[in-house]
Amino acid sequence: MPIITLFTDHQFSKKLSISSYFYVNAYQKNSWGEGLVGVTYTPVQGVSVGFLGGLQSNETEIWRVSPIIMLSKNRFSLFGAFEFGGKRYRWDDMVFYSVKAFKFGAELIRYYQMYAAGPRVEFSFIKKQPVTIFYSGLWDWTYGRYASMFGIYSTFGAFKNIASFEK
């Protein structure tokens, strides 16, 4: 199933930024998309919380909201996003330990009716504008099968240093 996502963040100050998230699922029988915009607040270094809201397509309700949290300290990081609106409740939690260009961790997701968890590995390259390749070896305990994910992404804006290479 082809999926395209984009997360952007523009920092106005050390504590305040505007974030946006766009997602398009191009599955032929059940396409869906969302566009969210909101504010992210960083009260202290390594702790960011945000709230995004916006619109979605092909759903019982046109609105969608998503609180997010990002934590990082030394080589450890945690990311959580929780989306609500219509029948497509989704959340994704990831925790990592970083070693140079690699991140080793675990992922726990709810995607539609599926609940899955498993290890996740990421490798980043091109330091000036980090590009990351990832693999999640998930076990879907709802349907009793593997639900692995493979992808590539690039991190822009204020979270570029959190999401990629250690200093």
121: its two tokens: 């590995």
Q: What is the DSSP secondary structure assignment for residue 149, as one 8-state letter?
A: E
25: its two tokens: 């699922």
* Coil/strand/helix, residue 144: coil
157 Cβ neighbours under 8 A, 6+ residues apart: 8, 9, 10, 11, 17
Cα-trace Rg, the chain: 16
CATH of domain 3-163: 2.40.160.40
Domain borders along the chain are 3-163
* Percent residues over pLDDT 90 in the chain: 57
Closest CA to 3 of 40, 28, 39: 28
Determine the average pLDDT of the residues in 5-26. 87
**Model confidence at 100, in pLDDT bands (50, 70, 90)?**
very high
Compute the C-alpha angle 41/11/158, nearest 5°.
Answer: 95
